[in-house]
Amino acid sequence: MYDEIERLKGRLIVSCQALPHEPLHSSFIMGRMARAAKEGGAFGIRANTKEDIREIQSQVELPVIGIVKRDYEGSDVYITPTMKEIDELMEVKPQIIAVDATIAARPGGVAIDEFFAQIKEKYPNQLLMADCSTVEEAIHADRLGFDFIGTTMVGYTPQSKDDKIEENDFEILREIVAKVKHRVIAEGNINTPEKARRVIELGAFSVVVGSIITRPQLITKAFAEALDAMESN
């Protein structure tokens, strides 16, 4: 597995996800999406649910960052929020499991420190990625011992709502890279090849790109809105 992870260095990971309300929601489609991503040059896949991951694993031999998105009443955490989701993912054994590592309250009031300890006690050899939204959260996750620190949640939490990962030449990413010892995976609103290349130049271990590759409804919307704007002028 070490060699698989090392091959991710400086490379592209494609997020192949479609939620139940989206037109491409289907494990079969996500498996084919992963095949297309590999054909295009992806070295890894990020995927949601054990069902999608199992199908993806049947289609490509690429390392997978696995998550389960699930909402719980009274909690803003939805990316692999409890041990239930961890156990589900371990049925398909993705190389890396990503969890929300923000300061938001987890279901049952479990803090990220406690949750990390629970995972490590039950699955001591599983590689873990911390999805963070601020520099402080990244530093905390790094000290806890997460194997990878991600910028996934920047701009998506109350404490980071005014931030954008690409602002000031990726200032947040640069600060995280400078202050943590574990590998940093750049993710979130990296929607051009130039941005993907830049985050690697700035020291990210690898880069995750999602919607701009795998959500055709959003890509189509950008083109349609550009043409609509012409009509209104």
pLDDT single digits (tens) 184-211? 999 999 999 999 999 999 999 999 999 9
pLDDT at 183 over 80: yes
What is the CB neighbour count within 10 angstroms for residue 133?
Answer: 28
Q: What is the average pLDDT across 169-193? A: 97
**pLDDT of res. 134:** 98
Averaged confidence pLDDT in the chain = 96
What is the CB neighbour count within 10 angstroms for residue 109? 9
Structure tokens at 230: 């012409």
**Is pLDDT of 2 > 90?**
no
β-strands 12-16, 206-209 pairing: parallel
pLDDT at 4: 86
Mean pLDDT score, 149-172? 95
Residue 1 pLDDT > 70: no
End-to-end CA distance of the chain: 55
For the chain, where are the alpha helices, taking DSSP H only?
A: 2-6, 27-40, 50-59, 83-90, 112-122, 135-144, 167-179, 193-201, 211-214, 216-232
**125: CB partners within 8 A, 6+ apart:** none
Lookup: tokens for 98: 């990503």
pLDDT for 215-224, tens place per residue?
Answer: 999 999 999 9
* DSSP code, position 14: E
**Separation of alpha carbons 65 and 164, rounded Å:** 23
The full set of domains in the chain, from first to last, is: 2-232 (3.20.20.70)
Average pLDDT value for residue range 224-228: 95
Which of 165, 107, 87 lies closest to 131 in space, CA to CA?
165
Spatial separation of the C-alpha atoms in residues 19 and 217, rounded to whole Å: 13
What does the block give as tokens for 59? 């289609």
| C-alpha span between 181 and 230 (Å, rounded) | 48
Q: How confident is the model at residue 232 (pLDDT cuts 50, 70, 90)?
A: confident
- In this prediction, residue 10 has a pLDDT band, given cuts at 50, 70 and 90, of very high
Contact assessment for residue 18 and residue 26, using Cβ atoms and an 8 Å cutoff: yes
Phi and psi, residue 28, nearest 5°:
-60, -50
* Residue 44 banded pLDDT, cuts 50, 70, 90: very high
Report the C-alpha gap between 194 and 107 in whole angstroms: 38
Name the percent of the chain lying above pLDDT 90: 96
Q: What is the pLDDT of residue 192?
A: 97
Residue 116 clears pLDDT 80, i.e. is over it: yes
Q: Residue 69 carries which DSSP code?
A: B
